[in-house]
Amino acid sequence: MSANSLCEQQPAAGDVPPQAEPLRSQGGVCKATLPTLYSELPPRRNPPELQFPQGHRATFTVPVSQGLRGRRGVSCVSIGVGGVSMDLSELEKDNTGRCRLSSPVPAVCREEPCVLGVDEAGRGPVLGPMVYAICYCPQSRLTDLEALKVADSKTLSENERDRLFLKMEEDRDFVGWALDVLSPNLISTSMLGRVKYNLNSLSHDTASGLIQYALDQGVNVTQVFVDTVGLAETYQERLQKRFPDITVTVKAKADALYPVVSAASICAKVARDQAVKSWQFVEKVQDLDADYGSGYPNDPKTKAWLRKHVEPVFGFPQLVRFSWRTAQAILEKEAEGVTWEDSAAEEQEGSRKITSYFQSEGPQARPPHRYFQERGLESATAL
Amino acid sequence: MDSSGESVVEKQRVHVRPATLLNAAPAVLHLLPCEVLANRPAPVQRFFTPAIRQGEDGLQVSFRGRSLRGEEVSVPPGLEGYVTVTEEKGEGLIGKQDFGGSENNGEKEEQKSLERSFDRFMEATGSFSRFTVWGLETVPGPYAKVRGALAWPILAAAIHAQVPED
Amino acid sequence: MASRFSEKGGVVNLRRKVEAECLKDASKKMKGGLMFIKLANPCSGEGAIYLFSMCLKQLFEIKIFKEKHHSWFINESVQSGGLLHFATPMDPLFLLLHYLIKAGKEEKFQPLDQVVMDDIFPDCILLLKVLELEKLLHHVTDEKEIDNKKYYKYSKEKTLKWLGKKVNQTVAALKANHVSVGARVQSAAFFSGDQVSSDKEEDYIRYAHGLISDYIPKELSDNLSKYLKLPEISAPLPNPPSKRLKISDEPVEAKEDYTKFNSKDLKTEKQKNTKMTAAQKALAKVDKTGMKSIDAFFGVKNKKKIEKI
């Protein structure tokens, strides 16, 4: 656990861009080639233990439409004019956890001192993964990177980001990148863990992990620039401590100030957008409305989507971050109640009842033998 | 009226419809580490089973954004698991007292049906010989209460076995 | 006969396979061969559910696994509570003892069908149908045969000897199954091999005595403790579990009410009651206390929840 773990579970209001940006670009160039949620590929094979007898208890069996069952999206997606975008096939194989993708390390980056930028995309949304990215190049080639006119990804249109990412791919002889896709399921289960692992800690640890990954790959990192999460000072201190041989700069708006951070932000944003668009639902959902709006909690479209797709028992598909207040509020209203052993309110209620119950019984009580108590067994008094 | 209803409860038998035991189709069961405050249909096959992964420390899945770890356990040898439903009490049956005398006539009783109008009935709707036990974030493991409970039939057999003669 | 079945009332049972096999032959001829009945729990005197197979002429005890915060997914449905019922063969003598002891106070030999009678739990007469019951009775009674009819009288001495053998075979099973019986128990240490090796013989006997005591009235449990020469522990109750529970992490509070039945109840029951009074008593004793509280405590009895939906 990180020391700086005071941040709330839900990102503060400041994390949400004032003008929520639509996930889907309206730009015409790439639209035709964008993947749809489902496309034609062989159906997913069910693991053998999941085989299930059909037809039994007919009222409860929900037949799964063969038309949608197990279809998979394509793994390589064309974005922009004739280029190949990020290969997210690894993520699509399993998007329930964490997935790391990276470019090959340019040979020059092993030799020359390198600048490395760190940025993130998709921190605020209630839907989809959060993507952390690093981008690096030799200090000597920084002007070449600037010449690409990389800028803060938020100021760019989706088309421009896609185009810039492709340019970086063309410059793979001196620009390298790596990213971690943190699935919404990973975010939910971390933040809702018995020991809460908040989003800031998760972010910091992921950023450190990526810098370490670059070092492990042999990148000669000498300078790191990071767009801050939480307080810049404490974050910088922590990173500096972790990487004493590297000059670390943590700054707010680093993605606008340092081209290498801008480049990282473009990588992150391209990956995030693509991951959301080509999201492989773990669930065998049908009739799914793909118009989730921006994914930000304050977007009415997103809220409407959540409300429409709430399932009374399971809540939402894993695309949704259950740990977001928006999601929880909808579940409280529209899904069945669920209590866990660490739900505090439940515990209190239970112990109060049992105490009052036994007070009235006096000293005659003969509780069941400890053998039974230790195994949760009791004699049946009713069926 | 009320009290006669209660006396029926004490005398009431719940008959298992035997054919349902024989015909019970295999059922897939998961024991969850949380209480879902509802009894209702749930799209388990669409939302839950496809998300199960085999991890290093057992099975993995998530439910309502919480991480679960699971393991498959077997019904103790010699036992068969059944999922049963008990018929809801039919209206108007509760107050009837037409059971008088049938208990005392021991010899006739075996010929007569053992079912009385105020009895209830149980059907098996599924059978199972194993199920998956889920723990919150950790595999339940051998110390979980349910794992202990599954060892009860072996000890029960010893307690209730006939004692040796002198 | 009503045939509406609740879709929501799913209960998960574990039952002996042999029944199903037996039923294969019998199912056509014998309706209702297998049934749940309510009988007096021999430990508490309260009503408890047992399973009786007319086909096997066998009695089964029902234990329910019940822990907070569980639910089942059963195929394509969710069932709150996560209950698991175990049906295991039960020695019918434990249940008969309840009646034999009561009748034994009259100090006379009586035919069994005059002893095993109960206004509240009339299904107790099914106990008389248990296979080869007469061969078992000599463990706990003195017998006389007059004109081919058998008469029985409760024998405390024989019963203690029989219970002593029960304790012995339970001890053997505890050892064979590595059940940890020591006084120092973590809540979950039931299979700890290290601990088992350090457990003393006395601990095993005390533990087995405690288990057997769950099937006999308190007075007999106290007598059995003396019979086994178990050293007294300082607590007023000779029943070890309540004391040890404080050592373990288990809550001292039991999840089940076993307190109601005492000698006072026995006496009142002896009086000739009309059916109605017996019924009222049943209402007063069982429903208002045991069952209702447990329902409330576990909170999720189907009907209440369903009505909300």
Average of per-residue pLDDT across C258-263: 35
B18 touches chain C (CB under 8 A): yes
Residues of B in Cβ contact (< 8 Å) with C61? 156, 160
Q: Quick check: C113 contacting B, CB < 8 Å?
A: yes
The CATH class given to the B14-88+108-160 domain equals: mainly beta
Quick one: pLDDT at residue B9? 64
Q: Pick the residue with more confidence: B96 or C40?
A: C40
* Residues B3-22: tens digit of each pLDDT: 444 556 677 889 888 888 88
How long is chain C? 309
Average pLDDT, chain B: 82
Q: Across the interface, do A367 and C290 touch by the CB < 8 Å criterion?
A: no
What confidence category does residue C291 fall into, taking pLDDT thresholds of 50, 70 and 90?
very low
Span A327-336, pLDDT tens digits? 999 999 999 9
Of the given ranges (A92-106, B130-144, C196-210), which has the lowest mean pLDDT?
C196-210
pLDDT value of residue A344: 66
**Looking at chain C from residue 162 to 181, which residues have their Cβ under 8 Å from any Cβ of chain B?**
162, 165-166, 169-170, 172-174, 177, 179
pLDDT at site C249: 36
Does residue C194 sit at the B interface (CB-CB below 8 Å)?
A: no
Output DSSP code: residue A287.
S
Report CB contact under 8 Å: A312, B40: yes
Given A59, A341, A381, which is nearest C46 (Cβ)?
A: A381
pLDDT range class, residue A87, cuts 50, 70, 90: confident
Rounded percentage of chain C residues whose pLDDT exceeds 90: 50
Report yes or no: C78 and A311 within 8 Å, Cβ to Cβ: no
Interface contact C131, partner B, CB < 8 A: no
Global ipTM: 0.84
pLDDT at site A289: 78
Beta strand pairing call for B66-74 and B79-87: unpaired
Q: Is the pLDDT of residue C30 over 60?
A: no
Domain spans in chain B, listed from the N-terminal domain onward: 14-88+108-160
Question: pLDDT tens across A7-22, in order?
Answer: 333 333 333 333 433 3
Closest by CA position to A145, among listed A259, A276, A293, A284: A259
Average pLDDT for chain A: 76
The pLDDT of residue C19 is 52
The region of weakest confidence among A145-154, A281-290, B156-165, C189-198 is C189-198
- Put simply, whether A56 touches B (Cβ < 8 Å) is yes
* Mean pLDDT, rounded, for C202-219: 95
Write down the pLDDT at residue C188.
45
Best of B66, B82, B137, B145 to mutate (most A CBs within 10 Å, chain A) = B66
CB < 8 Å to C212, chain B: 159
The tens digit of pLDDT for each residue in A66-78 reads 222 222 322 222 2
Q: What is the mean pLDDT of residues A274-284?
A: 89
pLDDT surpassing 60 at residue C293: no
Q: How far apart are the first and last CA of chain B?
A: 53
Provide the shortest C-alpha distance from residue A215 to chain B (in Å): 27
Contact (CB<8Å) B35/A189: no
The predicted structure's pLDDT at residue A150: 80
**pLDDT for the residue numbered A267:** 95
The pTM score is 0.76
Please say whether the beta carbons of B37 and A308 come within 8 A.
no
Cβ A172 vs Cβ A135: under 8 Å: no
pLDDT digits (tens, 9 = 90+) for C86-102: 999 999 999 999 999 99
Residue of A nearest to B51 (CA): A282
Class of domain A89-277: alpha beta
Give the tokens for residue A265.
Answer: 């932000």
Q: Are A164 and A269 in contact (CB under 8 A)?
A: no
Place of tokens 């993964």: A129
Q: To the nearest 10°, report the CA torsion of C204, C205, C210, C213.
A: 150
Check A323 against B65: CB less than 8 A apart. yes
Mean pLDDT of C103-119: 90
Chain C closest CA to A325's CA: distance in Å?
23
The pLDDT of A340-352, averaged and rounded, is 63
Residue C260 has pLDDT above 70, yes or no: no
- Do the Cβ atoms of A377 and B149 come within 8 Å? yes
Fill in the amino acid letter for C104: G
Most confident of A49-53, A120-124, A280-284: A120-124
Strands B66-74 and C149-154: unpaired
Confidence check: pLDDT of B28 > 90: yes
For C149, other C-beta atoms within 10 Å of its C-beta total 9
Q: Which of residues 114-143 of B touch C (CB under 8 A)?
A: 114-115, 117, 119, 121-126, 142-143
pLDDT score recorded for residue C198: 59
pLDDT for the residue B21: 87
Inform me whether the C-beta atom of residue C273 falls under 8 Å from chain A C-beta atoms: no
Residue in C71, C88, C309 nearest the CB of B32:
C71
> Measured between CB atoms, does C246 come within 8 Å of chain A?
no
Name the H helices within B78-138. 106-111
Task: Please tell me the predicted confidence (pLDDT) of residue A383.
Answer: 80
Q: Domain map of chain A by residue range? A: 7-80, 89-277, 300-334
- Are A71 and A39 in contact by the 8 Å Cβ rule? The answer is yes
